[in-house]
Amino acid sequence: MKKHNYSFKFSSLLFIGLISFNSSLQAQEPVRIAFMDPLSGAFASIGTSGLKQIQFAADYFYNSKGGILGGRPIEIVALDNKQSPTETQIQFRRAVSEGLQIIFQGNSSAVANTLNTTISRHNRRNPGQEVLQINYSAVDPILTEDNCSFWHFRFDAHAVMKLNVLTDYIAENQDIKSMYIIGQDYSFGQVVSDNTIRLLNEKRPDIEIVGNEFHPIGQVKDFTPYVTKIVSSGADAVITGNFGADMVSLARSIIDSGLDVPIYTFYAAYDGITATIGADGVDRLRLVHNETANPIPTERRKEYIRAFKAANPNNDVTQPRIANALQMLVAAMEETQSTDPYDIALALEDMRFTSLSGDEIWMRGDDHQAFQSLHISVHTDEGIEFDADNSGFGLFSEYHVAAEDTVVESSCQMRRPRR
C-alpha cells in the first residue's frame, strides 16, 4: 500500500513535470515575420499566392517539426500594402509598432525602393530596434547597387542578371532580326528597356530595336492598340517585363491579333496567367527565372510541391525563392541563436545554402545580392510533370546558366552600422 502510494506520487510528479515542460514549449514566444505585399486590388493574386507560399514553407519546414531556436514557432503576419508606396509607409509604421523586425516584400521595385529608404532611415534613428528587409522578388538593380543597404537582402536575380541570360538566349536565335520592347512605365520597366537595348547592341548589333513602348502600370484596359503597333513594326520578337493583369492582357492581345512571334518575359506564368494563355501560347512564351521548372531535379523538391498542392489545390509554388529566403533566414537565426536583425544580417552575408533542388545559393556580402543558377523555360504542355493553374500547361526549362556565370559587378558602397 505504501509502496503504491509512493509510485503514485512519483508518477503524478512526473506528470506535472511533463505538463509544465509541455506548456513551456507552448508558451514559447513565436518568431514573428511580416509579409508585406498587395493582398487586395489589381495585383492581389500575386500577393495572396506569395502569402500562401511563405505560410506553407514556415509550417512545412519548421512549425510541424517543433519550431526554430529551440521550439519557437514562426508566425507570419500579413500586411496589405496594395502595392502602393504610400500604403507601404503606413504598413511599415504598423509593423514597427507591433514589434515586427523582419519584413518579406517582393512585388514592385517602386515599393521595394520606398521600403529600403524607409527602413534605412528608421534603423539609423532607432538603434536596437532595427528592421530587416527580405526582398524575394523586386529586381530593380539599384537596390543592390547605388541604393544598397546593410538591412536589405535580395534573393532573386536582378533585372540585369536576368536580361544577360535572356539576351544571350535571344542572340543565339539567328531568325530574330528585330525586337519590340514594351513595358510598364516605372523603374523596373525602364531598366528592362534600357538594358535590353544596351545588351542586344553588344551581343547582336544587327538586331534592330523597332519599338520601345511604355504604358502606365495597371491602367491599360485593352492592349490591342499597342499590339497593332507591334504588328506594323514588323518585329520578329517581343520582350516585356510586365506582370500580373498587364502580362495576361498583353499576351492575349498578341495571340488574338494572330501575331506569331516569340515573346520573352519575366513573369508570364501562374496565378491564372498560364491557364488563360493556354494552348495558344505553346512554344511562343518564354520566361527567365531562378529554380529550374520541369523536369524537377530532386525528389525533395517534388515532395515539397506535392505537399503544397495537397494543402493548396488551387495554387502553385510559383516563387520557390520565397521558401529559399525563409530557409536562409532561419539558418542565419539558428547559427547566431538570435532574432536580432543585425546578427542575422551578418550571418546571411556570404552564406552558401543548398536549396531543395540541390542548387547552391550564394548571398554576396558586398551588396547582399543572391546568386544561383538561372533558367529559361517555355510555356508548353509537353514533359510537364507539375503544371500551373491545374491547366495541364506549365513551364519546361530548356536553357540553363550556372550560378558563377550570372555574377555581375556591383557599384555598391555599403555603409555598415557599427555596434
Partner 1 sequence: MLEVFIFATLNGLVTGLLLFMLASGLTLIFSMMGVLNFAHASFYMLGAYFAYSISLQFGFWLGLIFAPLIVGCLGAAVERYGLRRVHESGHVAELVFTFGLAFLIEEAIQFFWGPDTKNYQSPDILDFPLFTLFGQEFSAYRGFMIGVSVLIFIGLFRVLTRSRIGIIIQAAITHPNTVANLGHNVPLIFMGVFGVGTALAGLAGVIAGPVLTTFPGMAIVLGSIVFVIVVIGGLGSLAGAFIASLLIGLLQSYAIASDVGMPDLLNFLGVSFERDHPLNDLWTMTLPQIAPILPFLLLVLVLIFRPTGLMGNREE
Given the rule CB under 8 A, which residues bind partner 1?
40-45, 47-49, 185, 213-216, 218-222, 224-226, 228-229, 231-232, 245, 248-249, 252, 256-258, 271-273, 275-276, 278, 314, 389, 391
Smallest gap from residue 275 Cβ to partner 1 (A):
4
Coil, helix or strand at residue 210:
strand
Smallest gap from residue 190 Cβ to partner 1 (A):
10
List strands edge to edge, sheet with 132-135: 74-80, 31-37, 102-105, 132-135, 152-154
Closest CA to 53 of 82, 78, 83: 78
Q: Is the CB of 139 or the CB of 247 nearer to partner 1?
A: 247
Count CB atoms within 10 A of the CB of residue 385. Answer: 12
Q: Helices marked H in 349-401 — which ranges?
A: none
Q: Is the CB of 107 or the CB of 355 nearer to partner 1?
A: 107
**Distances 61 to 64, 300, 321, 322, 324 between C-alpha atoms, Å:** 7, 12, 14, 13, 11
Smallest gap from residue 79 Cβ to partner 1 (A):
16
Smallest gap from residue 281 Cβ to partner 1 (A):
12
Smallest gap from residue 159 Cβ to partner 1 (A):
19
Q: Which three cell numbers, joined as nine digits, stand for 6?
A: 509512493
Rg, Å, the chain Cα set: 24
Q: Is the CB of 272 or the CB of 297 nearer to partner 1?
A: 272
Give the C-alpha separation, 189 to 258, whole Å.
25
Residue 321 near residue 136, CB atoms below 8 Å: yes
Q: Is the CB of 371 or the CB of 393 nearer to partner 1?
A: 393
Q: Is the CB of 210 or the CB of 239 nearer to partner 1?
A: 210
- Contacts of residue 89, Cβ cutoff 8 Å, sequence gap at least 6: 114, 118
Smallest gap from residue 228 Cβ to partner 1 (A):
4
Task: State the Cα angle at 229 between 223 and 230, rounded to 5°.
Answer: 85
Smallest gap from residue 381 Cβ to partner 1 (A):
14
Smallest gap from residue 276 Cβ to partner 1 (A):
5
> Phi, psi at residue 10, to the nearest 5°?
-60, -45
| DSSP assignment of 67-96 | -BTTTBPEEEEEEE-TT-HHHHHHHHHHHH
Closest CA to 398 of 375, 373, 372, 374: 375
